[in-house]
Structure 1
Amino acid sequence: MTSEVEARAADSGAGATDTFRQSGKLQGEADIPPERVNLLAGELIKAANDVAEKHEVTYEEFNILKAWLIQVGEDGEWPLFLDVFLEHTVEDVNTRHREGTKGSIEGPYYVPDAPTISSPATLPMRPDEKGTPLTLKGSVTSTGGEALTDAKVEIWLADDEGFYSRFAPGLPEWNLRATVPVDSEGNYEIHGIKPAPYQIPTDGATGKLIAAADWHAWRPAHLHIKVSAPGHELLTQQLYFPGDQHNDDDIAAAVKPELLLDPQPNGEGGETAVYDYVLDAQA
């Protein structure tokens, strides 16, 4: 049986691509009016031509670009590439109207319908799961301060080696993934581990670009969260930890000051962090 540390970028990329195809997010693409497609595609193509003109791109560089684009598709890494290098801007544009809690990127490793576990919830994990125990707890309210007692918190995180279940071999199907409904007072409590920083997959096409440009591939340690409640906008975010060396140079440029946790020793060999959510009502 292949272990998680033997995971390949192509396997992870294929999983992310399949998950995206099954997510239903392709629905509605035909509803985008031609004028909008003309605007966006036209400006994107013009920007690429402007770069070629400004920097006098050679045929050797052009052919390398074509080969690389083909390899991104063959590796299934378009979800990874776009989520790392573009999603943070799209997320910011689409949520800047909100008055409630700040969001962040989803990333390529979300899987819907994780097991539902009542609060206080302990995430599914292996008996010998590595990592410092971490408790995350808080409340979910509206912008008016009312407790949202029908809210739910979805959470997923990488393990101590930086791998996600469903995207690396050898991991239990729902390892460190769960859906947690809030309690009757709108509060939640989740027990898991504190994940480690990790590099995005580097043995595929995205990694080749990173190496060629002499960039680094590191993401700071983070928790993935989705918070939802009927009649309110879905909040997607990542929560980070103070002191991580990659908070300031995250390859995905997704860290915001409002997303930093303040975990404290809990006297039980682990840490506890409190994070309250405020959701905006749907327009």
Structure 2
Amino acid sequence: MENETSTGHVTRKTVLKAALAAGMAAPVALMGVPALARTMGGSEGDLALTPTCDDGDDPTIPQMEGPYFKPNSPLRSSMPDGPGTRLTVSGYVFGRSCLPISGVLLDFWQADNNGAYDNTGFKFRGHQFTGADGSYKLTAIVPGLYPGRTRHIHVKVQAPGRPILTTQLYFPNEPRNNTDTIYDPRLLMNVRDGSGGREAAFDFVLDVKQNPSPTPTPTSTATSNPPGGTWAAGTAYTAGARVTYGGVGYVCLQAHTAIAGWEPPNVPALWRVG
């Protein structure tokens, strides 16, 4: 696989991103062009890129959760929880046919500037959902180093009604990349210096089957009518609210307005059985 920034050819994902940004449909003639999940500069030599998004290719690979994950992180996309070099990570979540997926849960956690994880609170922990165009954006800091590991960010990614992908994101040109036994170059972000900090990009490809169409329409596997429950799309729920869905009771963990695809079984960051 080659990086489009080094070869100069236009990939399908580039066309899709441009169309999404402009609110237009992607040209039909370019829907069959192979796409790279990383489109910015800053690759690490000739190492393999994160998986392409053309039909039938492998999705983003999973990695171990590690010992520091905590459930029920706050709903937020900005984590200004301590000093360090400002970092913005952005990208899209795509399915197997390179179409964006809306309402995807992304739960991030990372070390602080000193390489320590907050295990008593929720510093440098937070979850968010992709927008209608499948995009996400995280603002944090460049995580510090701790013994035995290279620099990395943890994340869980879950499309509505689909299994959770747990993985880690890495930084290029880190000396410890060569000695970290968990590190995988397919999970490298593209990172560059930006205004007031560093900017990174990574697009997730989930194992979600899709039917390609001229318009990159976000997909959803859920309906707005709960099967025999009190949960309803469009309802503003507060923390502690109780609903039923499919004969099971749930307690709301985070205040939010429900939409189709966020039914209680699908988003454990918002609901727990109880």
* Structure 2 residue 73 is the aligned partner of structure 1 residue 114: yes
Contact 1:149 1:183 in 2 (8 A): yes
Tell me the equivalent position of 2:131.
183
Taking only the aligned residue pairs, the percentage that are identical comes to 34
Tell me the equivalent position of 2:159.
229
Contact 1:157 1:177 in 2 (8 A): yes
Tell me the equivalent position of 1:160.
113
Task: Give the gaps of 5 or more residues in structure 2.
Answer: 1-55, 210-274
* Structure 2 residue 104 is the aligned partner of structure 1 residue 151: yes
Larger Rg: 1
Contact 1:233 1:281 in 2 (8 A): no
Tell me how far apart the structure 1 counterparts of residues 62 and 111 of structure 2 sit (CA, whole Å): 19
Q: How does 1:115-154 map to 2 (within 5 A)?
A: 115-117=74-76, 121-125=77-81, 129-154=82-107
3-state SS of paired residue (2:190): coil
Tell me the equivalent position of 2:149.
219
Tell me the equivalent position of 1:264.
192
Q: Under a length normalisation based on structure 1, what TM-score does the superposition of the two structures give? A: 0.52
**Equivalent residue for 2:172, pick from 242, 246, 259:** 242
Tell me how far apart the structure 1 counterparts of residues 80 and 69 of structure 2 sit (CA, whole Å): 16
Contact 2:91 2:137 in 1 (8 A): yes
Shift of 1:98: 8.1
Shift of 1:145: 2.0
Shift of 1:124: 4.8
Contact 1:233 1:280 in 2 (8 A): no
Shift of 1:281: 3.0
Tell me how far apart the structure 2 counterparts of residues 154 and 185 of structure 1 sit (CA, whole Å): 18
Tell me how far apart the structure 1 counterparts of residues 102 and 59 of structure 2 sit (CA, whole Å): 17
Task: Give the gaps of 5 or more residues in structure 1.
Answer: 1-96, 168-172, 200-217
Q: Between Structure 1 and Structure 2, which shows a larger proportion of helix residues? A: 1
3-state SS of paired residue (2:155): strand
Q: Between Structure 1 and Structure 2, which shows a larger proportion of strand residues? A: 2
Tell me how far apart the structure 2 counterparts of residues 158 and 103 of structure 1 sit (CA, whole Å): 19
Shift of 1:246: 1.4
Tell me how far apart the structure 2 counterparts of residues 231 and 157 of structure 1 sit (CA, whole Å): 26
Q: Under a length normalisation based on structure 2, what TM-score does the superposition of the two structures give? A: 0.53
Tell me the equivalent position of 2:145.
197
Tell me how far apart the structure 1 counterparts of residues 196 and 208 of structure 2 sit (CA, whole Å): 39
Does 1 or 2 have the higher relative contact order (CA < 8 Å, sep 6+)?
1
